Homo-oligomer: A and B are copies of this chain.
Amino acid sequence: MGINSRFAVAVHILALLALEDRPLSSKYIAGSVNTNPVVIRRILSTLSKAGLIETQLGVDGGSTLARPAEKISLLEVYNVSEQGHLFALHSNQPNPLCPCGRNIQPTLLGVFKKAEAALESTLAEATIAEVVQDIVAQLQSQS
């Protein structure tokens, strides 16, 4: 499985920044995510380089959204979080002397590309603001 939890944590971080609407430190965020602050800082660093957040050093510093949550799509967050591709080709080059081995990879790449595009188009339609709305709706049903 092409699984890692960085995408989930990145969405969590951005939703938390949107909800609290003030600079949050990596230590504070780590308390919500339940992990080590360095894990958070690694993700914050990539979010910052991608222009999704801004960070402020020093006392009472921390990170804030660089843009309104309505303007941050989950596809952007996904692209920052997942490097490489969802699907893998063969780990060794197939046999070039075999008609199938020689031609299977371009065919597979076409299939992979189409499937990934479909996945990404659904992520492009969702935003951090919608994630926050969903969380707020759950909170209201809990009170």
A-side residues, CB < 8 A to B, are 1-5, 7-9, 11-12, 15-16, 19, 31-35, 74, 82-95, 98-101, 103-104, 106-108, 110-111, 114-116, 118-119, 121-123, 126, 131, 134-135, 138-139
Contact = CB atoms under 8 A, between A and B. Distances in A.
A70 B6 CA distance: 38
B84 A34 contact: no
A118 B74 CA distance: 15
A86 B34 contact: no
Contact of A126 (B11, B111, B123, B135): B111
Given A31-B98, A95-B31, A119-B118, A1 B85 contact: yes
Contact of A107 (B4, B121, B135): B135
A94 to B, nearest CB: 5
Contacts of A107: 15, 131, 134-135, 138
Contacts of A99: 19, 135, 139
A82 B112 CA distance: 14
A88 B122 contact: no
Q: Which of A4, A8, A35, A74 has the most CB of B within 10 A?
A: A8
30 contacts: A1-B3, A1-B4, A1-B83, A1-B84, A1-B86, A2-B2, A2-B86, A3-B88, A5-B90, A8-B87, A8-B88, A8-B104, A11-B104, A12-B101, A15-B107, A16-B98, A31-B98, A32-B100, A32-B101, A33-B101, A34-B94, A103-B138, A103-B139, A104-B131, A104-B135, A106-B138, A107-B135, A111-B126, A118-B119, A118-B122
